[in-house]
Structures are given as C-alpha cells and as structure tokens.
Chains A and B, each alone.
Chain A
Amino acid sequence: MAKEKLTEQQKLEKRKIHRTPTFLFRFMSRLSKFLYYKKCGVSYTYNIDLKPFRGKPYVVVSNHASRLDHAFTAPAFYPDTFNFVVGYNEFFRSHLAFLMRALQVIPKKNFVPYPYAVKQITRVIKQGGRIIIMPEGMSSISGANQPCAVGSGQLFKFLGVPVLYTKISGGYLTSTKYCLDERPGRVDVVVDQLFTPEQLKTMTADEIQAELDRKLWHDDYEWNKTARARYDGHGELAKNLHQLLFRCPKCGGMLCMESAGNTIRCKVCGNEATLNEYYDLIPKDKTCVIPDTPRVWFDEQRAQIRNMVAEDGFLLAEHVKIGMLPKYGYLKHGATSEIVGEGTLVLDREGIHYDGTKNGAPFSFSIGILQLPTYGMCTDVSRFYTFYQGDFIEFYPERESAELWMMATEEMHRLCGGAWKDFPEKALV
C-alpha cells in the first residue's frame, strides 16, 4: 500500500528539535550584526557580566519591539548560541522555511495551548542549550508592550535555569507594526538578568509572570521624548497609521481615519496631525484634538472599545475572507496564508463565530471567548489570525478593521473573566 504523503504540518510536528548548529547560528548572528548594527544605530549596554553564563543553559527574554528583534537580541550574547521560539505560521513562508528548520527554531502556536513547543524547549534546555523567547507572543502593536502570554511565569519556573533579558528601545520606531518599512535611527539594547534559579524556586508562577510584565515594560514613544532619536521614515512616517489609530479623538468616529505621507486625518471632521522624524504627533492647528503620542491614542481607543463591548447586546460583524496554511509546499511572495473562503465573522459574548465557505464548501465554526485571549498578526495590522482545532485561520476583514477586531476580542475576553488580563492599573508607572 502506498504511504500517504505527510503534510507540512505533520512533518513540522514530527521533528525533534535539538540545539541549534553552532557554526550556522554564529554565522547568522554575525550576518545580522553586519546588516543591522551600523544601519540601525544599535548599541549595547551590559548591566551584568555574561562570562559566568557562557556555554551554560539559560533563557533570554525580551520585549518584542519588532520583527527585527532577532538581530538585536542574539548578537548581544555572542558567541553563545540559541534556539529561537517563533510563530508556527512563519515556518510556512518560503523565504523563512529553510532557515527556520536549519537553525532548529522552535515553532509555537501563539495564544493557544501548544505542548509540542514546551516539550521542545524543555529538550533543548536539558541538552545544555539556550532559548530566546519573546513572552508577549507577538511584536508590539502600539509601540509599548502587551502583557506576557498566560503560562510564561509557569514555564520559566519549570525550566529553573537563569533568565536573562534584553530591553530594546527604539526597535519599534525602526520597524513599526503599522508599517513594516525599515526606518533606521537608533536602537539601544540593555542586557541584564531577570531571575536567578534560586529566585525562580522561591517565587510563585504568578509572581514571576508579574515581574516579567514589569521588567519588560517599555514604551518607545515615551522613551524617545528624552532620547530624541531621529528616524528616517522616507517621508512616510504615517503610512498605514490609520489601520492602528482608527478612532478619531475629536468626533469619536470609528474607522474614519486616513493616512498618507507623514499625516493622519479624520475623513469626517478633518481632525489632523503630522508625525515628525522623532515620531512627535503635531496637531495641524488649535482646533485639532490629538493625544500626546500614538500609544496614548491607542490606549484611549481601547478604553472606548472596553465601554462598547460592555454594552448589552454588543455585537461586531463583518464580511471576511479566510486564509489557511498550505497542506503541501510553502507560501510565496510574502503571503501569510492562502485564501480558501469567505463569510461572515461575528464577535459576541460567547466568542467568535464564522459562517461561510472553505474550499467551495459550507464551513462554520465558533471559538469560545475564554479560549480566545487575542489574535496574532503575522506581519502588519491589516489582518489577524487564530487557530481552530489546531488549524491556522487568518481573517482578512473587508474594512480596515483588524485592530478594532483585536481590541474588541481582547476586551470581551477580559470582560467575560478570561485569564489574559491587562496590566494592573498604574503598575507600570
């Protein structure tokens, strides 16, 4: 009988991950440094001596500023080598697929339970290896952190090896989530220790989780108020910013912002601001109502969405296309999924519900709100994904509303008693 051909997913999960190959990792680390160090103005500050850690097992965590973080974190610890933990879907993108596998990168299905990744992390540490993981699970949306994924504290306590960290400042401003263009300027990386094995033993998992959130907290816009680093945005610093800042702070309109060049404005009331090379938000005139920074704007939006989802009968519905990962082969031309159907997506207090098609046949599913703390966003803020019964499903909303969906779902999860809480108020001040 002919053997059935394994799908890419099956092949990926059949792999036992081992320590990254030393020569290849060091070569890639050097290459990253060569490509980004000078170009992005990277500097390192060491608050600890790394010599006692060299060659021994430890974990490195970092705030997840951007998709370039691999180039800012790993070179800080050279010549030590690491297994990175990276989003599962990235393994299906043709330009990354080979390197991810060759470097023994560990795939992780973000924001859903995925014991495969934990088992691989444990194996690498037991083999005497080291891990780099971004416990937020996704690169910063707003320029500041989101809370670490549930279970991060429990994982580090279980591993019991030293936890070091890098704090990246300027990484988001170099490559924002709303526009992935590289904007060289300045990146400061501080290296320090977060937990000793003794501390991990005495602290509870919840205490470790809270300390992670506290130590990794960073706001790039706030940082640059004093750092005053200039970023080369090629005259397009506000490009796609309206996808992130979708609510007008003046008239309260939703999804009514537009952006081009360095400017963002409301299509309804004309409220307008410009971003300069320091990412300062400058109102067009005295009648304009513009928050202090894009991050403050983002958080004000969240407060509005929190009120909206708390209203009786709240419901968000939109026509979407859905994309999935290929069964065989990889995604090409920068794609993050293959479109396989379309239908209506609804968010209510129960969770999300999709009703439409998949590969030409009727297809519907629901995910309970307690199982859905947030979505992933593969690249920018134009689409979002989650996993249903282990399968990656990406939503392409008809409107430019991915961030609205994300905030509404996160706040609904929290309102309904979900485990993934927001930062405690004032804890990060």
Chain B
Amino acid sequence: MFERIRDTILERGCTLPREEITPQTDFYVDLGWTSLDMVGCITDFEDETGKEIPDETLSGISTVGDLSRVLESL
C-alpha cells in the first residue's frame, strides 16, 4: 500500500524524489498539501478500491504512514 501511495503522491505533482517519501512524510508539512489535495487523493483511492474511507478517520491522517494504515484497515 505504501508504494501505491507514493505513486499517487508523485502523480499529483510532488517534486520530492521517490526515495525521500517515507511513512513519516507529512502531507501538510512536508508536501504542502491543502485539505482539498487530501480529499482528492482519498477520493482516488475510494474510486479505485470501491471502499469508502470513514469521515472520522480523516482528521487522523497527516503522514503517509497514517494513510497507509487507514487504507490497509478497510
């Protein structure tokens, strides 16, 4: 799942080299994402997997690792 998230981040125009995106990478602090960037990313995953990410988990996602854990738990 981590690799898939890395792909998505890079597809979304991230200028960091792939190897610098780690589970600790913070979407907002390190990548400068807005709330809308996060919702767009999550919507892509929902469309791809057909599973919905519960709204109440959104606030707990700030790093790549957080998102990976949420997606794996679906």
How many residue pairs link A and B with beta carbons under 8 A? The number is 57
Interface size on A, residues (CB 8 A): 24
Tell me whether A368 and B29 are in contact (CB under 8 A): yes
Cα distance A299–B35 in the bound complex, in angstroms: 30
Cβ–Cβ contact A115 & B39, under 8 A: yes
> Per-residue CB proximity of A1-34 to B under 8 Å, as 1/0?
0000000001001111000000000000000000
Number of interface residues of B (CB under 8 A): 19
A116 touching B29, Cβ below 8 Å: no
A117 contacts the other chain (Cβ, under 8 Å)?
yes
Prevailing SS type, chain B contact patch: helix
- B43-74 CB contacts (< 8 Å) to partner A: 54-56, 58-61
Whether the pair B55, A113 counts as a contact (CB closer than 8 A) is no
Closest beta carbon of chain B to A369's beta carbon, Å: 12
Q: Are A151 and B56 in contact (CB under 8 A)?
A: no
Q: Is the Cβ of A154 less than 8 Å from the Cβ of B36?
A: yes
B-side contacts of A122, CB under 8 Å: 39
Are B58 and A13 in contact (CB-based, < 8 A)?
yes
Minimum Cβ distance to chain B for residue A286 (Å)? 52
Which residues on the A side are within 8 Å of B39 (C-beta)? 115, 118-119, 122
> Taking chain A's interface residues, is the majority helix, strand, or loop, or is none over half, making it mixed?
helix
Neighbouring B residues of A114 by C-beta, 8 Å:
35, 59
Residues of B within 8 A of A155 (CB): 36
- Indicate whether A419 reaches chain B with its CB closer than 8 angstroms: yes
A158 within 8 A of B: yes
Query: Which residues from 4 to 62 on chain B have a C-beta closer than 8 Å to any C-beta of chain A?
Result: 27-29, 32-36, 38-40, 42, 54-56, 58-61
A154 near B29 with CB under 8 A, answer no
How far apart sit A154 and B60, CA to CA, in the bound complex (Å)? 23
Inter-subunit contact A150/B34 (CB<8 Å):
yes
Name A's B-contacting residues (CB within 8 A). Answer: 10, 13-16, 113-120, 122, 150-151, 154-155, 158, 368, 370-371, 390, 419
Ordered by A's residue number, 15 sampled pairs between the chains whose C-beta atoms are within 8 Å are A13-B55, A14-B54, A14-B56, A16-B55, A114-B35, A115-B38, A115-B61, A118-B35, A118-B38, A120-B55, A154-B36, A155-B36, A371-B28, A371-B29, A390-B60
Q: Which residues of B pack against A, CB within 8 Å? A: 27-29, 32-36, 38-40, 42, 54-56, 58-61
Apart from A115-B59, A154-B36, 8 more pairs, CB < 8 Å = A13-B59, A15-B55, A114-B35, A116-B55, A116-B59, A119-B58, A158-B36, A158-B40
